[in-house]
Structure 1
Amino acid sequence: MRVSVWDTYVPREDGKVMHFDILVPDKMIDTDIIFEYGKKYLNTKLFGTGVLTSSECRFCHIQSAPPQVVNSISEKGYHIIEMENCS
């Protein structure tokens, strides 16, 4: 499966910036849905975060997905890769 990678930077209330990628099927182009996936992920955090808009989340590239990502996308429609300040 090929996936689109959306590079995302969201400020936290403590001043740090979260960096994570939202991975979706490469055919998905509806940014409203992609941003909703990011917001759903942010709602799982115990600390406060800023908003997620097109300013914080941008298409980066397309790549092949490993099996664990394919499984996650099959289950919930997206996969998150945490990069920095996500916990």
Structure 2
Amino acid sequence: MKVSIWDTYVHRKNGTIMHFDIVVSSNLKDEQAIFEYGKEFLKTKPHQTDDLTTEECRFCHIEQATHEMISEIEDKGYFIIEMENCD
């Protein structure tokens, strides 16, 4: 499965920046749906953050999905790669 990687940076209220990638099927082109996946992920975190918009989330590249990515995308529509300050 080919997936699209959306590079995402969101400001936390404490001044740090959360960096994570939203991974979706490469067939998904609806940016609003992708942003909603990012917002859904942010709700699982205890941090207060700014809103997620096109300024914070941009298409980066397409790559081959791992088995873990495929499983989560089939289950909930997306996969998140936590990069920085997501704890």
Structure 2: stretches of 5+ with no match in the other structure = none
Match of 1:47 in 2: 47
CA–CA distance in structure 2, aligned partners of residues 82 and 50 of structure 1: 17
Count of aligned pairs between the two proteins: 87
TM (norm. structure 1) is: 0.99
Alignment of 1:48-67 (within 5 A): 48-67=48-67
Offset at residue 47 of structure 1 (A): 1.4
Q: What are the superposed Cα offsets for residues 2-27 of structure 1, whole Å, 9 maximum, x if unpaired?
A: 00000000000110000000000001
Alignment of 1:3-22 (within 5 A): 3-22=3-22
Offset at residue 86 of structure 1 (A): 0.3
Percent sequence identity over aligned pairs: 55
TM (norm. structure 2) is: 0.99
CA–CA distance in structure 2, aligned partners of residues 21 and 46 of structure 1: 18
Considering only aligned residues, what root-mean-square deviation do their CA atoms show, in Å?
0.4
Q: Which runs of 4+ in 1 moved over 2 A?
A: none
